[in-house]
Amino acid sequence: MRTRPTLSWTPEEDLPPGTTDLQPVADALRAGGVVVLSGAGISTESGIPDYRGEGGSLSRHTPMTYQDFTSSEHARRRYWARSHLGWRTFGRARPNAGHRAVAAFARHGLLSGVITQNVDGLHQAAGSEGVVELHGSLGRVVCLSCRAMSSRRELARRLEEANPGFAPVAAGINPDGDADLTDEQVGDFRVVPCAVCGGVLKPDVVFFGENVPAPRVEDCRRLVRGASSLLVLGSSLTVMSGLRFVRQAAEAGKSVLIVNRDPTRGDRHALARVALPLGPALTTVAGRLAVPLLLDSD
């Protein structure tokens, strides 16, 4: 059976309204011991669209599933053609004020960990260390046969050599780095094998229909167990992958705070949901806490 991504959720009860009051977020950070859980919404200000927000990519794009990728050579050709083109844009994305604020909070000892559902590496590019990448990273590639890891930049070089002149115009770029191309634009794109064993290469990300590795989940649960509070940034929490940590924190009596403009599946577990754009909101909080943000050029 093919597993399709969850497009939306319908609240079973009235949710508390969002607020514009950032004081609970500032108070939690001032107390320290905060674990951040970030989603696609923190990267939209870097030019990477989200899945489920207003104009989210799931309204026009169905991401590749693990089952499709592993069972179909045609699906892999289509995926790598679209992803190779998308990487040219995706790989140039730079951290925004939201990423820089998270890094600044960590530098000042206010965070005990960062978990991200994103695969873009922008938290690390902003200076965050020890980030748990719940869904992996597009910057790495893994062989499904020998499990050898390689750099996405090296794969991009090999794909360029195998497909000289491949430069179709995409209709858009999605949060998973996948460019919108038609089958005609994909054409006879050539996929390259693992340089070690000749096996099938896959980005080191968790596809829809694929399980997050159990040790990684336990790393996240350990961070939440040791946290004073959980701060969710830019996630709808539609899928259980992130929602389980919100539930864990709430069941343990820890404060959950959410900064997301739209309602989320975790709102009923939260002390408050701040309905403001992330970059400006976190910049404001940093100012209240006298935490300076480094510029991207730094």
16 part of a folded domain: no
Summary mean pLDDT of the chain: 90
**Residue with the larger pLDDT of the pair 171 and 146:** 146
241 part of a folded domain: yes
pLDDT of 215: 97
What is the rounded average pLDDT of the residues 229-246?
A: 95
C-alpha radius of gyration, the chain, whole number: 19
233 part of a folded domain: yes
* Binding residue ranges for NAD(+): 39-59, 117-120, 234-236, 278
**Whether pLDDT at 282 is above 70:** yes
Pairing between β-strand 229-233 and β-strand 255-259 as defined by DSSP bridges: parallel
Q: Tell me which residue range forms the domain holding 242.
A: 23-288
15 part of a folded domain: no
* Binding residue ranges for Zn(2+): 143, 146, 194, 197
* pTM (predicted TM-score): 0.89
Residues 6+ away with beta carbon under 8 Å from 190: 159, 162, 163
Q: In this predicted model, what pLDDT tens digit does every residue of 9-65 receive, in sequence order? A: 666 667 778 999 999 999 999 999 999 999 999 999 998 887 545 544 444 457 789
Find out whether 286 and 104 touch, Cβ atoms under 8 Å: yes
Tell me, what CATH number does 249's domain have?
3.40.50.1220
- What percentage of residues in the chain have a pLDDT greater than 70? 90
Q: In this predicted model, what pLDDT tens digit does every residue of 159-193 receive, in sequence order? A: 999 999 998 887 777 767 778 888 898 889 999 99
Phi, psi of 192 (to 5 degrees): -100, 150
Predicted confidence band at 125 (pLDDT cuts at 50, 70, 90)?
A: very high
297 part of a folded domain: no
Catalytic option among 61, 84, 123, 135: 135
What is the rounded average pLDDT of the residues 126-150?
A: 97
295 part of a folded domain: no
* Binding residue ranges: 39-59, 117-120, 143, 146, 194, 197, 234-236, 278
3 state DSSP class of 36: strand
What is the rounded average pLDDT of the residues 124-152?
A: 97
Predicted confidence band at 260 (pLDDT cuts at 50, 70, 90)?
A: very high
What is the rounded average pLDDT of the residues 135-141?
A: 95
| Residue 135 annotated to the active site | yes
pLDDT of 12: 62
123 part of a folded domain: yes
Number of folded domains that form the chain: 1
What is the rounded average pLDDT of the residues 89-113?
A: 94
What is the rounded average pLDDT of the residues 245-271?
A: 96
pLDDT of 130: 96
pLDDT of 175: 67
52 part of a folded domain: yes
Residues 6+ away with beta carbon under 8 Å from 96: 42, 43, 45, 46, 122, 279
